[in-house]
Amino acid sequence: MNHQLALHLADNALILGHRNSEWTGHGPVLEQDIAISNIALDLIGQARNFYQYAAQLINQSTQQPNIPSTEDSLAYLRESHEFKNCLLVEQPNGDWAKTILRQFFFSAYQFYYYQELQKSKDSTLAAIAEKSLKEVTYHLRWSSEWVIRLGDGTDESRSRMLKAIDELWMYTDELFENTSYEHKAASEGFGVDISLFKNDWDKKVKEVFEEATLPIPTKELNNVNWFGKEGKHSEHLGNILAEMQFLQRAYPGCEW
């Protein structure tokens, strides 16, 4: 069961890291181009750690596997329905405002998640969380500052942030919907009870939105028909994987 949780955490980080990498060379100014690229690298580094551990767990649970799992096979040779990332991270970049808001929502989630995961009975998951939390703390601060800057900026930047809220808010509910593998891992002390920090996430979002003079949606917007953490994705993930996995599938055996 732990390998499913590790895959979920790895998939979240990999897909958002890939999305952010699409900004490389296209950021609004050089400093922020470098910042979003570095965040992408941080996330891909987190993904590698989780994939390596997931591969180790899978290989241990499979007696004499014909083809042992590796970080590369887990990232590049699984189909979209096998990925366990939440829907939020696979959403298109859109403009800078949408990218910033997506990062803020997810970084706030990761920040509280990794704080709890440090308490895991699984020493490897706890160690990855502790290492990653240092990076996520920066991601959260950086994205928060940008949400405030855009929300309380010009009429144009504010309108773009409002549009981003309309497009992304509906995907935040899934972050706090437990899957069977999350529930089992949490009940055994290896994972995280995500209900423990839902209020912290809400409070952080409200705090930043108030400073940015942005409204918090007052109604539930969870009207999507997919559940990414269980492998039911939007069409966007298929497009990401087609691009991301092409080299490995065309030239089998390539390594990161």
Nearest to 160 by CA among 90, 96, 88: 96
- CA dihedral (249, 251, 252, 255) positive or negative: negative
Query: Residue 114: what residue type?
Result: Y
Residue pair 140/21 in contact (Cβ under 8 Å)? The answer is no
The structure tokens 């039911």 sit at 232
Token pair, residue 112, equals: 């509280």
Q: In 3-state terms, what secondary structure has residue 183?
A: helix
Instruction: Note the helical H segments in 152-197.
Output: 155-168, 180-187
Distance CA 31, CA 11 (A): 27
Query: Residue 61 carries which side chain, given as an amino acid letter?
Result: S
- Angle (CA) 174-75-252 rounded to 5° is 155
Start-to-end Cα distance in the chain: 26
Ranges of residues in the chain whose predicted pLDDT is under 50:
none
Backbone angles phi, psi at 232, to 5 degrees: -100, 95
By the 10 Å C-beta count (0-12 exposed, 13-18 middle, 19+ buried), 77 is classed as middle
Phi, psi values for residue 223, rounded to 5°: -115, 20
Strand-pairing partners, residue 227, are 232
**Integer Cα distance of 73 and 80 in angstroms:** 13
pLDDT, position 220: 57
| Predicted pLDDT at 93 | 95
Q: pTM of the prediction?
A: 0.93
Q: Which residue has the tokens 């181009």?
A: 33
Domain ranges of the chain: 2-218+227-250
Specify whether the CB–CB gap between 47 and 14 falls below 8 A: yes
CATH class of 2-218+227-250: mainly alpha
| 8 A C-beta contact, residue 17 and residue 41 | yes
Dihedral (C-alpha) 121, 106, 18, 33: value to the nearest 10 degrees? -130
Residue 63 has what pLDDT? 62
Question: What per-residue confidence (pLDDT) applies to 30?
Answer: 62
C-alpha count within 13 angstroms, C-beta hemisphere, residue 25: 1
Q: Which two tokens stand for residue 58?
A: 């899978």
pLDDT at 160: 97
Contact at 8 Å (CB) between 241 and 80?
yes
